Amino acid sequence: MPRETFERELHKLQDDMLLMGSMVEQAVREAVEALQRRDLESARRIYLGDQHINEKRYDVERNCLAIIATQQPMARDLRFLAAILEIITELERIGDYAKGICKIILLLSDEELDPNIFADLQLMSDLGLGMLSRALDAFVAIDADTARQIPTEDDQVDALYNRIYRNLMNEMSRNPASIDRANHLLWAAHNLERMADRVTNICERTVYVATGQMKELDTSDDEIFRWFK
């Protein structure tokens, strides 16, 4: 395969990965909105739509492996293809988190819920999706500096998760009848917190493509983590 044709194949893979990223971002955004409205119809649609995300992942994976098998790429090209395989796996998992939130919507009762919890869940979603979008942009640009910086924002997502956790624990202590509902909302928060962790993994792949170094990126400035180092 001539180099020009090979480059086109790589760009096609990248474009398909970005399309999958857009599908995942939309699923998460709509899932959180549906949770706030407790929109059962939207929840079912997003839940079933996860199959399209999975199909896109398998399509990209097949094409990527075909290029590796037939072209035997070396050096940065091989790192790029290996990174694509890892990133689509991370995206597929984030799609699963959106699906999980939709399942939670189906389990929640019609009882009034704390609007402060929903506000924090929305903020977690906005922060995580912003990180994801910029992580994918950094990969396209092979921008290692930006990829190293994005995971430091995970502290903000963790702080929101901890606040939601404390508020829900207090609610369960005051009102044992709320335990099931609070656990469902806590699981939604956990899914959004894990999304930010997946973004860190994507950033690590960008650094790997750019430098050839496979290294875990630091995601916290918390004193306790510095104490263990």
pLDDT of 224 > 50? The answer is no
Looking at residue 217, its amino acid is L
pLDDT tens for residues 205-219?
Answer: 999 999 988 778 866
Positive or negative, the CA dihedral 28, 117, 134, 204 is negative
> What whole-number distance in Å separates Cα of residue 91 and Cα of residue 24?
7
Looking at the structure of the chain, the number of domains it has is: 1
Q: Are 105 and 39 in contact (CB under 8 A)?
A: yes
Q: Which CATH number characterizes residue 92's domain? A: 1.20.58.220
Residue span of the structural domain in which 111 resides: 3-228
pLDDT tens for residues 63-83?
Answer: 999 999 988 888 889 999 999
221 SS3 class: coil
Looking at residue 215, its amino acid is K
Surface-to-core class of residue 201, CB atoms within 10 Å of its CB (0-12 exposed, 13-18 middle, 19+ buried): middle
Determine if the pTM surpasses 0.85.
yes
> What whole-number distance in Å separates Cα of residue 99 and Cα of residue 223?
34
Q: Are 111 and 91 in contact (CB under 8 A)?
A: no
For residue 101, the Cα-to-chain-centroid distance in whole angstroms is 13
As a whole number, the mean pLDDT across the chain is 91
70 SS3 class: helix
Mean pLDDT of 21-44: 95
